[in-house]
Copies of this chain bind each other. A is one copy, B any other.
Amino acid sequence: MEKKQRKLPDSCGLGPALAVIGGKWKALLLWQIHQAQPCRFGELKRLQPEISEKMLIQHLREMEADGIIHREVFHQVPPRVEYSVTPEGAELDLALAPLAEWGKEHQERTGRAKAGAARAARTAAEGATLG
């Protein structure tokens, strides 16, 4: 197991929380699994083509170890693995909502000049992920 982790200072519980959700794609994955439950590995890959396979499984494994998602293997001929969020993961998703809300407001307040062009391009190209 290659888990060295940044080791965040914990006071008030934020450290542990950020350790769990702090990976580059983890929040996104949690949210997507929560949406399309249960979700197969290949499905997640297709939903977020920018994530490399390595990061995808790495994050999935860590999230499983942290108890926020559940992994179920079906011993079939083309292997089949399904991911779903645990109750704990669902709570985390919920706890993340105010932060997401703040983030949205924040990017509206600031990201006009820089994000404007980039966002427009992305939106036109792929149809925007959420809002």
- Residue-wise interface mask of A (2-41) relative to B, using a CB-CB cutoff of 8 A (1 in contact, 0 not): 0000101111111111101110110110010000000000
Cβ-closest chain B residue relative to A102: B95
Q: Does any Cβ of B come within 8 Å of A75's Cβ?
A: no
**Is A100 in contact with chain B by the CB < 8 A criterion?**
yes
Contact with B along A94-131 (1 / 0, CB 8 A): 11111111111111011100000000000000000111
| CB pairs A–B below 8 angstroms (18 shown) | A9-B25, A9-B28, A12-B31, A12-B100, A12-B104, A12-B131, A13-B103, A14-B27, A14-B28, A14-B96, A15-B27, A17-B100, A17-B102, A21-B99, A91-B102, A92-B102, A95-B101, A98-B99
